Amino acid sequence: MADERSLSAERLSVSSIDDVTAEACERVPSVQNGALVHLAEGMLLGGFGPGGAIDREPLVRAALRCLGASNALPRPSRKALEFVEYAFVSERQIVVILRGTLRPTIALALACARESNLAFVLSATRQALGCIEANPELVQWGL
Amino acid sequence: MGAMTAKNVDWSALADALLRIERLGGDDSGLLEFGAEQRGGIFVEKGRVCWVAASGLGHRLRNLILVYSEIDEAELDRVCEQCRARGGMVGQTLVEEGLITSEELESALRHHSAESLLELCRSPLPTRFRAHTGRGYAPRFTFRPLDLLLDTVGACFPERQLEARRELEAFVEPGTQAVAFVFQAQSDCLLPVVEVGHHTVEDLRALARWASSMPNASLELAAAPSFTLAVTSKGDSVLVWWNAGLLYAVLCQDRTSLAAVTSRHMSRA
């Protein structure tokens, strides 16, 4: 079993995870760069956009801050709120960070141009993450 | 009536005292005493605050009734004397006799209670709850521990409170829950100053703690967000933003109210 898994991992190079992520995120409006993050390991699985892995570090760290540990809002008089999506809207960018639905240990963090519509960005990112999670290569890699 | 000073107020002790009252049962009445030598206390009737007394501020309620209403001193003295002799309650008697309105009494009581509580929390004092049977205060003239917390913060930061009200009126839809917090640098904490909807002291303490962790993520992105949105899998969401030293948190329970608040933000930015 372990051998099988390592063979699968060999078949799926880092660049192919980059491709899977980039392709899934093509329809996100004005997307500039993105990072697929393994929350449990705190590492970048793949990404796209200008620059390399080092340039995606802020997205990885922000994803870990938001979703790496429990960031629930306790409401003593009501049920606690467990957040799965975050959006940071600044003057120049919209950064969205979403936790996987099928695979809650992964998160997708995308930076988009500020001109984009937040609702469209969120809904397109949900779809993109769904496509990534459904990719059989991720299963092969044990994610 | 100018702003009260927030200097030396132990906000944590103040919130703890109110939390203690909040955790009492709906039938509990008594006095939360401050200090071994009874520096004052919070009078509680059926789980709600009636008023707060602090040594040295005994005549202040009388002054505040004169400020908030049009009653003259002679009339007020007559009612005070009458209540002393018969064991009645001055405030309620004034309202029953039509000498002041219930709104005027409530304003005076809440102002006095806020001032007294601030005085009681300027130095660390032990507290102790002594249960007793209620005196029969009308529920109309009692208030929630959270009301008292908002009043004390508002008494120290009146301009911030006005600013927060204006901001929330501009952003918040009817039926939405929202809170504005003022950042208190001296004790490095967030204090609730305006509430929209219905919360508890404990709710707002948890919300402040959660909302104050949000800047950590934006620091990683090296960007000061005009607002941050957090959404649950069921669609509940919280929108958080800073403006002029105030932190705002709006809880939206459906996508329509969320869309309304975010679009107002986007258009402002």
> Above pLDDT 70, what percent of chain B?
98
**Across the interface, which of B199, B210, B228 has its CB nearest the CB of A88?**
B228
ipTM: 0.85
> Cβ of A109 under 8 Å from any chain B Cβ?
no
Nearest CA in chain A to B203: A75
The verdict on a CB contact (< 8 Å) between A58 and B210 is: no
How crowded is residue B268: how many other Cβ atoms within 10 Å of its Cβ? 12
- What residues of chain A lie within 8 A of the CB of B206, using their CB? 73-76
- What residues of chain B lie within 8 A of the CB of A93, using their CB? 221, 223
User: Is the pLDDT at B153 greater than 70, yes or no?
Assistant: yes
> What pairs with residue B240 in β-bridges?
B228, B249
Q: Residue B193: which residues within 8 A CB-CB, separation 6 or more? A: B150, B153, B154, B157, B160, B161, B164, B180, B181, B182, B246
Residue A91 inside a domain? The answer is yes
User: Is the pLDDT at B215 greater than 60, yes or no?
Assistant: yes
What is the least distance, in Å, from the CA of B26 to any CA of chain A?
Answer: 15
- Quote the CA–CA distance of B188 and B192 in Å, as a whole number: 13
**Across the interface, which of B225, B233, B259 has its CB nearest the CB of A90?**
B225
**Across the interface, which of A59, A78, A88 has its CB nearest the CB of B218?**
A88
How crowded is residue A133: how many other Cβ atoms within 10 Å of its Cβ? 18
With bands split at pLDDT 50, 70 and 90, how would you rate the model's confidence at B88? confident
- What residues of chain A lie within 8 A of the CB of B228, using their CB? 86-89
Domain enclosing residue A87, as ranges: 8-140
Q: Domain of A53: which CATH number? A: 3.30.450.30
- Quote the CA–CA distance of A20 and A26 in Å, as a whole number: 10
Residue A3 inside a domain? The answer is no
> Cβ of B221 under 8 Å from any chain A Cβ?
yes
With bands split at pLDDT 50, 70 and 90, how would you rate the model's confidence at B112? very high
Q: How many domains does chain A have?
A: 1
- Quote the CA–CA distance of B243 and B230 in Å, as a whole number: 18
Residue A94 inside a domain? The answer is yes
Best of A65, A98, A125, A126 to disrupt the B interface (most B CBs within 10 Å) is A65
The pLDDT of residue B12 is 92
The reply to whether the predicted model has a pTM over 0.90 is: no
User: Is the pLDDT at B71 greater than 60, yes or no?
Assistant: yes
- Quote the CA–CA distance of B242 and B195 in Å, as a whole number: 16
- C-alpha B15 chain-centroid distance: 10
Q: Which of A101, A143, A132, A116 is nearest to A24 (CA)?
A: A132
SS3 for A122?
helix
Q: Average pLDDT in the B203-220 region? A: 86
> What pairs with residue B179 in β-bridges?
B195, B249
Q: Which of A87, A96, A76, A85 is nearest to A32 (CA)?
A: A96
User: CA dihedral defined by B129, B134, B140, B144, rounded to 10 degrees?
Assistant: 20
Residues B113/B151, Cβ–Cβ less than 8 Å: yes
What is the least distance, in Å, from the CA of A101 to any CA of chain B?
Answer: 9
Best of B229, B240, B257, B268 to disrupt the A interface (most A CBs within 10 Å) is B229
The verdict on a CB contact (< 8 Å) between A118 and B218 is: no
Lowest mean pLDDT among B56-70, B101-115, B132-146: B132-146
The verdict on a CB contact (< 8 Å) between A58 and B217 is: no
Q: Average pLDDT in the B173-182 region? A: 89
SS3 for B181?
strand
The verdict on a CB contact (< 8 Å) between B220 and A61 is: yes
Residue A1 inside a domain? The answer is no
Residue A2 inside a domain? The answer is no
pLDDT tens track for B126-142: 999 999 876 777 777 89
The low-confidence residues of chain A, meaning pLDDT below 50, are 1-11
The verdict on a CB contact (< 8 Å) between B229 and A86 is: yes
> Cβ of B230 under 8 Å from any chain A Cβ?
yes
Residue A84 inside a domain? The answer is yes
- Quote the CA–CA distance of A34 and A53 in Å, as a whole number: 10
